[in-house]
Amino acid sequence: MIGANNNPPQLGQIDSEYFVCEGNLTNIIFNATDVDGDDPIIFNFPGLLNPFFFDQFQSQFLTIILSGGESFREVLLFTAIPLNKMHLGKHDIIIEVTDQVLVDRNFTNITVIEINNPPNLLPFEQANITLNETNRELYLELNVSDIEDGNRTDGNLSFNVTFLEGNSIFNVSKEGVINFTIGDNHVGEYEVLICVSDKAFDPTRIHLNISECGGIGVVTNQSDCEQFNLKIKSNTVIIQPSSSGGGGGGGGGISSEFCQVKWACVPWIECKRAEDALGQGILSGFQYRNIKDGCLSEGIGDEDCGYHTRDCRDAAFCNRTVEEPPKLEYCEYTIDASCFDGIRNCHDGGCEFLIDCGGGICDLCPTCSDGIKNQGEHEIDCGGPCPKICSGEFPFGSKNLISSLLEGNILVVGIWEKNFNF
């Protein structure tokens, strides 16, 4: 319950910049407290774009009351997929928290650092190749690709062959091709290792904070290898995959028993009149009654009782509906919703964070750190609803106030009026 002497919630420590390496997931937890014990306190990330999402719906992110009576809540900022080349660079992030009356806001950014991805050399086919006297040639084109350096014909990859068993009898061309004709002196058994390497990053391409990703080793040349066993008989060549060859079996996925759900929701869409939707069959009777109950709890009459919807999906693909966030919610319907109608509503492709502010569609909501005198502040970002005391103001009971009270009635009255706005 919001009291008359309400204090804004306060965001916890937020770094000015966070670093994430290409190929990794983002998982950053932010928190906020409210000295009044308000529940709920709600987070918002205005303008947040794919691949970033935030989750405050799971049970571990619900508001809790600490021993001192203040409320505490966390929110998870995450990515559902490993970050790739499309996500490189700096992403500005705005973090807001509200008790539904006052707002605190902070800014940070997430920088995605580029690494050199290793080439991907596909395993050799599991087949036997038989050569006779009229067909004595072994011809293999290596199937390889590299995110930064292309494929085998682009000229950016280097190849080499190592005979782990047997004499060296052939090489790999710079285009990644093995073209070999057997002779009688080649009869025998061979264990062959084929490797491909890409190019290291130019120094100008290396991020200054590459140490966050493990150091310079992640931008030097990277390699991948595959191995096969070769048997040459007088008239036959047989290629068999080695038991220690590269590659790996496909995983069976993550068991739903241990999969951690990560709900990602798009913003609420525009508020529509609930009674109209009931008549059109868009809302069921059960849904309409729930919407109407919500409107009544906020003093919204039937004419202005509205609803809006959103889509939520589990970004972790756990295939479960546990703790699924709401997709249907009541709202106050207005015919021409805007940022100046005195109603917290949705319009122009987004939803206001508080009344007529925020949400990426209206001006940012006022805070106690925005450098503007607003929301009843006595001076810029101090006094009124803000915890910071303005210069010249003293909290009741302070030494400065008590000493001033002793100087005379006229001074007493002046300070009293200034501190309590009479």
Instruction: Render pLDDT for 2-16 as a digit per residue (tens, 0 to 9).
Output: 556 889 999 999 999
Q: Are 25 and 86 part of one and the same domain?
A: yes
281-315: per-residue pLDDT in tens? 999 999 999 999 999 998 999 999 999 998 888 87
Q: Is residue 184 part of a domain?
A: yes
343-384: per-residue pLDDT in tens? 888 888 788 889 999 988 899 999 999 999 999 899 999 998
Q: How far apart are CA 290 and CA 280, in angstroms?
A: 17
Please identify, among 351, 372, 407, the residue that sits at the C-terminal boundary of a domain.
351
Q: Are 83 and 165 part of one and the same domain?
A: no
Residue predicted with more confidence, 131 or 168: 168
Which CATH number fits the domain that encloses residue 189? 2.60.40
Q: Are 141 and 227 part of one and the same domain?
A: yes
109-121: per-residue pLDDT in tens? 999 999 999 999 9
Q: Are 125 and 228 part of one and the same domain?
A: yes
Please identify, among 79, 113, 147, the residue that sits at the C-terminal boundary of a domain.
113
Q: Are 67 and 138 part of one and the same domain?
A: no
* pLDDT value, residue 403: 45
Q: Are 69 and 140 part of one and the same domain?
A: no
Percent of the chain scoring above 70 in pLDDT: 82
Q: Are 109 and 157 part of one and the same domain?
A: no
Q: Are 139 and 59 part of one and the same domain?
A: no
Q: How far apart are CA 41 and CA 104, in angstroms?
A: 11
Q: Are 178 and 271 part of one and the same domain?
A: no
Which CATH number fits the domain that encloses residue 87? 2.60.40.10
| Structural domain total, the chain | 4
What domain range includes position 47?
Answer: 10-113
* pLDDT value, residue 318: 77
